[in-house]
């Protein structure tokens, strides 16, 4: 152990990067681990990537090395970096995250961009928005931040998630109405122009494809559905949208990449129109827009 500490104390930041990558090889491929190193160092030392390059050949001081070792040890235990740092970025905004909420993904940013493009094209004076299964609040808060005239509400069954989302709304100075409720039984009198949801959609069969650190740390309540009824939340949200959307109101979904056709057919059967299935940047069926 003493030799281990002496070895680390002799390393510059470039060597620490290679050590970091090798220590996390069981969880991440080389490029993923390198990106995590950049995120970790820029967060711990408040550097950007240019500054990291400038400091590459320097040996960190004791305090810097202590922070580095603590973070690396948590990552080696399988904890996602965002939970270690207790924060992440989404659509240019900072969000607090903990194991009560999913870590926002890039494909969800793509969904938000599509929504903002659509709302901008329609030039509505006022937009009433509901985000179902809000988690960290990343969708609802980002929409409110970019749509100043929108009245945004966000629903989640998890009280712990609502607490995190409320904190993020305050952090980003965005007034959002949070609703603690289960969409499978929720009733409302409000009519919305736009409903959006990124509900649980991963089947039990797909578990084996997932990183172990996701399975060990992210909330299963927000991830998994049964193999025999994988569209349970999509069906419930679609029925809710049929009742609560204003005429020509839009419904947006993030979806399971393997269930795009099934989700489109379900929406057709329920009478939705102008159904558009869109791929994400990786070429996967990932989001849907339709209207009543």
- Helix/strand/coil for 229: coil
Q: Does 3 score more than 60 pLDDT?
A: no
In the predicted structure, residue 1 carries a pLDDT above the cut 60: no
Distance CA 200, CA 156 (A): 12
Residue 16 has a CB neighbour count (10 Å cut-off) of 21
How confident is the model at residue 174, as a pLDDT? 97
State residue 53's pLDDT score: 84
Q: Is the domain of 72 the same as that of 111?
A: no
Selected residue with higher pLDDT from 127 and 253: 253
Grade residue 62 by pLDDT with cuts at 50, 70 and 90.
confident
Task: Give the number of other CB atoms < 10 A from CB of residue 132.
Answer: 27
Asked if 137 and 247 sit in the same domain, the reply is yes
153: domain CATH number is 3.40.50.150
Given 46, 77, 108, the domain boundary residue is 77
For residues 135 and 149, which has the higher predicted lDDT (pLDDT)? 135
How many structural domains is the chain composed of? 2
d(CA 247, CA 238): 15
Residues 61 and 119 grouped into a single domain:
no
What is the model's pLDDT at position 124?
67
Please say whether the beta carbons of 232 and 225 come within 8 A.
yes
Tell me the residue range of the domain where 100 lies. 90-291
Residue from 109, 152, 39, 61 nearest 254 by CA: 109
Residue 237 lies in a domain: yes
Query: Any idea which of 147-151, 219-223, 238-242 has the lowest mean pLDDT?
Result: 219-223
Mean pLDDT of the chain: 89
**Same-domain check for residues 51 and 99:** no
In which band, very low, low, confident or very high, does the pLDDT at 125 lie, cut at 50, 70 and 90?
low
Going by pLDDT thresholds of 50, 70 and 90, the confidence category of residue 253 is very high
Residues 58 and 178 in one domain: no
The mean pLDDT value for 45-68 works out to: 84
Is 90 exceeded by the pLDDT of residue 112? yes
Q: For position 11, what pLDDT does the model report?
A: 87
Gap between the Cα atoms of 95 and 112, Å rounded: 15
According to the model, what pLDDT value does residue 2 have? Answer: 44
For 168-194, what is each residue's pLDDT tens digit? 999 999 999 999 999 999 999 999 999
Length of the chain: 292
Question: Which two structure tokens, joined as six digits, stand for 217?
Answer: 């740390």
Q: 20 pairs with which residues across the strands?
A: none
Which pLDDT score is estimated for 181?
97
Tokens 């499978």 belong to residue = 184
Q: Provide the whole-model pTM.
A: 0.87
Same domain, 67 and 205: no
Query: Averaged over 33-42, what is the pLDDT?
Result: 86
Percent of the chain with pLDDT over 70: 91
Domain end point (choices 52, 77, 102): 77
Res. 231: pLDDT tops 50: yes
Question: In a 10 Å sphere around its CB, with 0-12 CB exposed, 13-18 middle and 19+ buried, how is residue 69 labelled?
Answer: middle
195 and 64 in a common domain: no
With respect to residue 54, please indicate whether it lies within any of the assigned structural domains.
yes
Alpha-carbon gap, residue 133 to 155, rounded angstroms = 6
Return the closest-CA partner of residue 264 out of 256, 275, 249, 273: 275
* Residue 241: inside a domain: yes
Same domain, 278 and 220: yes
Q: Are 174 and 109 in contact (CB under 8 A)?
A: no
**pLDDT over 80 at 280, yes or no:** yes
More confident residue, 149 or 206: 149
In the structure, what pLDDT confidence band is assigned to residue 211 with cuts at 50, 70 and 90? Answer: low
């Amino acid at each position: 152990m003493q030799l281990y500490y002496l070895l680390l104390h002799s390393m510059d930041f470039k060597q620490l990067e290679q050590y970091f990558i090798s220590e996390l090889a069981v969880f991440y491929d080389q490029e993923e681990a390198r990106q995590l190193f950049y995120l970790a160092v820029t967060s711990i030392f408040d550097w950007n990537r240019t500054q990291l390059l400038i400091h590459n050949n320097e040996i960190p001081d004791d305090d810097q090395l202590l922070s580095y070792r603590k973070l690396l040890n948590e990552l080696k235990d399988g904890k996602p970096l965002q939970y270690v740092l207790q924060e992440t970025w989404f659509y240019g905004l900072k969000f607090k995250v903990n194991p009560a909420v999913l870590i926002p993904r890039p494909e969800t940013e793509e969904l938000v961009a599509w929504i903002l493009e659509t709302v901008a094209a329609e030039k509505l004076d006022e937009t009433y928005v509901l985000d179902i299964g809000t988690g960290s609040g990343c969708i609802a808060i980002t929409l409110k931040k970019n749509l100043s005239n929108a009245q945004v509400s966000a629903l989640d069954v998890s009280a712990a998630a609502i607490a995190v989302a409320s904190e993020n709304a305050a952090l980003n100075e965005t007034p959002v109405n949070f609703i603690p409720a289960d969409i499978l039984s929720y009733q409302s009198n409000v009519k919305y122009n736009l409903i959006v949801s990124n509900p649980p959609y991963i089947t039990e069969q797909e578990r084996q494809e997932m990183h172990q650190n996701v399975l060990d740390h992210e909330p299963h309540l927000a991830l998994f559905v049964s193999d025999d009824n994988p569209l349970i939340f999509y069906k419930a949200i679609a029925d809710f949208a049929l009742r609560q959307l204003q005429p020509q109101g839009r419904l947006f979904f993030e979806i399971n990449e393997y269930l795009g056709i099934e989700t489109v057919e379900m929406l057709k059967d329920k009478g939705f129109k102008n159904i558009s299935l869109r791929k994400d940047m990786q070429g996967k069926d990932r989001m849907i827009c339709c209207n009543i």
